Structure 1
């Protein structure tokens, strides 16, 4: 497996993977308007916009094929982390997270991160050392669990 920074040629595959997995693991719990809004904001143009705003993406490739990707905003917020279902439970999400974390710290990040996790991904983030910092939220019709890494002092 290779993990490397995203290049423009990766964007169509990243967008397709994101939208397919979002339909199954994220927006199925959302309002129809929330689902439509999320999917519209996360198409190819959306990914290009996130890149233009400074989000840093890494991709995982297995035999040259996209297996997953991660994006971090502001060196402190895990914005996207998706792994193709064929590659679940093989450590790819962890390796993507570690690559993104290390890159953010190398670029001046403090090493603390937040994520708005789907219900499905909470156990994955907990395995990485994230903890919930608030009850499940709903914003613009999308449900998520605010989490933080490392655990806040006293937790």
Structure 2
């Protein structure tokens, strides 16, 4: 049985290991090579600890052997910052469950009217399935290639 819980500082290392491995496989190939080090550097264990300490909200999915198999991170409670699911668990609805958990947690504390995400080019379909829409085309910023997207809650009542 997969459990979903709020992440704590003690989870920073396994979160980092999961998202760095998946970012190398799925995100780095869509970005300029010059940006890979910066991207992966933002996903170190120390970075994840600092994000959690500064108020980012992370939720994780844990398998029966207590391995972290998926993670979602929210910045400022309305920007989806990280969403990664281990290859073995993709396509099982875990990303959606984590998104619903993170969204509900955000809405318990604030009255947001929208959420945003800067989607990796090859993950855009995931966010579209959550109701996000493009707010601009594919963009490149300092080597990072992404798609800015927004979910307006008034449109998804």
| TM-score, length basis structure 2 | 0.92
Q: d(CA) in 2 for partners of 1:7 and 1:152?
A: 32
Alignment of 1:115-134 (within 5 A): 115-134=117-136
Q: d(CA) in 1 for partners of 2:118 and 2:18?
A: 19
Provide, for residues 105-133 of structure 1, a one-character-per-residue CA deviation record: whole Å limited to 9, x for no partner: 00114141000000111111000100111
Match in the other structure for 1:84: 86
Q: d(CA) in 2 for partners of 1:72 and 1:111?
A: 15
- CA distance 1:111–1:58, change in 2 (3 Å): farther
Q: Is the 8 A contact 2:27 2:120 kept in 1?
A: yes
Q: d(CA) in 1 for partners of 2:137 and 2:154?
A: 15
| TM-score, length basis structure 1 | 0.93
Q: Is the 8 A contact 1:27 1:35 kept in 2?
A: yes
Name stretches of at least 5 consecutive residues in structure 1 with no aligned partner.
none
Q: Is the 8 A contact 2:80 2:117 kept in 1?
A: yes
Shift of 1:28: 1.3
- CA distance 1:46–1:109, change in 2 (3 Å): farther
Match in the other structure for 2:105: 103
Q: d(CA) in 1 for partners of 2:29 and 2:51?
A: 23
Q: Would you identify which runs of 4 or more consecutive aligned residues in structure 1 move more than 4 Å?
A: none
Match in the other structure for 1:54: 55
Q: d(CA) in 2 for partners of 1:30 and 1:68?
A: 22
Q: Is the 8 A contact 2:113 2:153 kept in 1?
A: no
Shift of 1:151: 7.2
Q: d(CA) in 1 for partners of 2:112 and 2:153?
A: 14
How many residue pairs get matched?
153
Shift of 1:20: 0.4
Shift of 1:24: 1.0
Q: Provide the secondary structure at the position in 1 that maps to 2:122.
A: coil
Shift of 1:8: 2.2
RMSD of aligned residue pairs (Cα, Å): 1.4
